[in-house]
């Protein structure tokens, strides 16, 4: 299994979308990219920790490539919005790819640059591409939130 980590707004919808992809074995909601150890949802929402709401994706690279996951990531949210997605505002909702190795960094950067040059979006992409940092799994009630609550939501 390989691991990829993405921030694309509220993690509930992002997790739900990644779970639908063949080859994704598991996806976890969590927090990454901040300076507070073991943050809670309340801590992150205070905007004082620097963390983003992220989804850590465990996938089988023989079934789905990192490149395909990055393409899906850019398709499932608006990567031109700085520190927000729709009505959710704050740096915890920023667009980011936390790469786990040099190959992931290269692929993510190439796809972001290609999309920017193609004018796929009407504004420049603001997605951060940064090294993976400690991942803190979110509270259990956030995991598979839509499934647990009978929500049929498409991010």
Position 154 pLDDT exceeds 60 = no
- Does 98 fall in a domain? yes
Number of domains in the chain: 1
Mean pLDDT, the chain, as a whole number? Answer: 95
Which pLDDT does position 118 carry in this prediction?
95
CATH number at residue 71: 3.30.1060.10
pLDDT greater than 90 at residue 151: no
Percent above pLDDT 90 for the chain: 90
* Cα separation, 130 vs 100, whole angstroms: 9
Tens-digit pLDDT profile for residues 6-33: 999 999 999 999 999 999 999 999 999 9
The answer for residues whose C-beta is within 8 angstroms of residue 64's C-beta and 6 or more apart is 21, 22, 23, 24
Can you give the pLDDT at residue 153?
Answer: 55
- pLDDT for the residue numbered 106: 98
pLDDT in tens, 43-85: 999 989 999 999 999 999 999 999 999 999 999 999 999 999 9
Q: Is residue 117 part of a domain?
A: yes
In a domain, 146, yes or no: no
**Which residues are part of the catalytic machinery?**
10
Taking residues 143-149, what's their average pLDDT?
89
Q: Which domain holds residue 131?
A: 2-138
**This prediction's pTM:** 0.94
Confidence (pLDDT) at 147: 87
Helices 66-75/102-118 angle, 10° precision: 40
Q: Flag whether 147 is in a domain.
A: no
Q: What is the pLDDT of residue 85?
A: 93
Residue 71 lies in a domain: yes
CA distances from 102 to 65, 79, 84 (A): 15, 22, 27
- Residue 152's pLDDT is 64
pLDDT at 103 over 90: yes
Helices 11-19 and 66-75 cross at an angle (nearest 10°) of 130
Please report whether residue 31 resides in a domain. yes
Is 72 inside a domain boundary? yes
pLDDT, residue 155, reads: 44
Residue 29 lies in a domain: yes
């Amino acid at each position: 299994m390989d691991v990829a980590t993405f921030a694309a707004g509220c993690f509930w919808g992002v997790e739900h979308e990644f779970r639908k992809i063949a080859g994704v074995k598991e996806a976890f909601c969590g927090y990454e990219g901040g300076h507070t150890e073991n943050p809670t949802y309340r801590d992150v929402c205070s905007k004082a920790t620097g963390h983003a709401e992220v989804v850590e994706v465990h996938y089988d690279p023989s079934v789905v490539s990192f490149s395909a996951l990055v393409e899906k990531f850019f398709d499932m949210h608006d990567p031109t919005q700085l520190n927000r997605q729709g009505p959710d505002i704050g740096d915890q909702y920023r667009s980011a790819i936390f790469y786990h190795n040099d190959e992931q960094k290269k692929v993510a950067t190439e796809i972001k640059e290609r999309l920017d040059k193609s004018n796929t979006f009407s504004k420049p992409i603001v997605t951060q591409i940064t090294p993976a940092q400690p991942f803190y799994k979110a509270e259990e009630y956030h995991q598979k939130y839509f499934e647990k609550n009978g929500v049929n939501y498409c991010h």
